[in-house]
Structure 1
């Protein structure tokens, strides 16, 4: 993640530098690079802002190229209102501490907005979390995704023992859940989520998608709310399961 951020900062820095150079060349000629360098040295706090703006711009381009696929949930893997016109997509991992920390933010968003639909994309990237993601999708097939999702974060980290305990707490039919967790449908869904995350340029969890934005990290309740409010509704996305 650190190297990714440094790369983004470098790219954004070069983009701004060349932008300044191009805009100033007609009037300042050879002085443009010195003026740009002086400006950036005098305003180092702009670099993180530049990196964020560049990331958001590139993510928006990638998101536009995906169409509606990222909003289409695995049947049942939804929090909030299944019919909601406001859609938030979360890429999550049960062994990710930042995903666990974000759970309360998502629950608060759902509690405060009855029109919000949260599509969860299971993306097991931490060691040992695949078993939990599979059981979560099995829980979705039984209409008990939300119960398992919350129990798994409470009982984690993911292990065969904690996954079974979460499944029991969520009230799953264990024999059916074990079979569903090993099914081709679940394997295909996890592969699809990996492909979508890579297509969006995500490097880790949690990661979020609204109707117009794709952002990474535990950005908190206020960050998520702002992203949703600035994106508006997506009534035609994520058909009901």
Structure 2
């Protein structure tokens, strides 16, 4: 294996460098390449192993970059003035969720989030409006952000109801819910015209880009970033790690 590593290094790296390649004649280079080729044809599993190692290395690098991005953006993730908070607003542990009202996985995962809040009275949940599924999602997010500005004490109920909707949700559907809940619709519509609404969405897009997030739901707990509807148990384990340093407290 050490010989193979050397040969691969020569073929794929050294032989492409003019100064290094000059040390070998054309015949020697051809012979080395033939030896490597024959070895790989006889032992193709080596390529699988190399590819697997490369994937693991890249995953580790991506995870490290994500953790650094969390560190660099922690204040904006946890304490932005443009965010909605549910659960215990004074809780010692914070979970951040990036979501889209038209995301089917977000809708199913909402039960996991509610259970997490019920079973962890010290949990603070920051909700990031991350509309990635087209204009209807953007419209719904705009209404939700305005609701949080006008009636922050009603936002949790509004969010839970809207994320539990069947079918496509857009601005009209979100405003219909505002009226149904008895929230000041005129005030919400006025708030939607404020620059804060678009600034909030752009802030979340920027955070998602920094963290490498492209889909919903996505979560941040402590230094951990989780993508997809990972389930209650996984979320609880991450909350526990942040709370007591163990998977189970």
Match runs of 1:120-131 below 5 Å: 120-127=127-134, 128-131=136-139
Match runs of 1:224-239 below 5 Å: 224-232=235-243
Q: How many residues align?
A: 207
- Correspondence 1:61 to 2:68: yes
Structure 2 counterpart of 1:30? 4
Which segments of 5 or more consecutive residues in structure 2 lack a partner in the other structure? 9-38, 245-249
Q: Check whether the contact 1:73–1:119 (CA below 8 A) recurs between aligned residues.
A: no
Q: Which moved more, 1:114-123 or 1:52-61?
A: 52-61
Which segments of 5 or more consecutive residues in structure 1 lack a partner in the other structure? 1-23, 234-241
Q: Check whether the contact 1:151–1:169 (CA below 8 A) recurs between aligned residues.
A: no
Structure 1 counterpart of 2:146? 138
Output the TM-score relative to the length of structure 2. Answer: 0.72
The higher relative CO (CA closer than 8 Å, separation ≥ 6) is in: 1
Structure 1 counterpart of 2:217? 206
Task: Give the secondary structure class of the aligned counterpart of 1:209.
Answer: strand
Give how far 1:47 is off: 8.7
| Distance in structure 2 (CA, Å) of the matches to 1:110 and 1:202 | 24
| Distance in structure 2 (CA, Å) of the matches to 1:131 and 1:160 | 4
Match runs of 1:1-241 below 5 Å: 28-31=2-5, 38=45, 41=48, 53-74=60-81, 77-127=84-134, 128-141=136-149, 142-143=151-152, 144-155=154-165, 156-232=167-243
* 1:58-94 C-alpha deviation (Å, 9 max, x unpaired): 3112212224111124456111000011000111111
* 1:22-68 C-alpha deviation (Å, 9 max, x unpaired): xx8xxx24357679973674799989877755543331122122241
Distance change in 2, residues 1:73/1:167 (3 Å): farther
| Distance in structure 2 (CA, Å) of the matches to 1:226 and 1:48 | 26
Q: Check whether the contact 2:143–2:171 (CA below 8 A) recurs between aligned residues.
A: no
| Distance in structure 1 (CA, Å) of the matches to 2:47 and 2:236 | 32
RMSD: 2.9
Output the TM-score relative to the length of structure 1. Answer: 0.75
Task: Give the secondary structure class of the aligned counterpart of 2:214.
Answer: coil
Q: Which has the larger radius of gyration?
A: 2
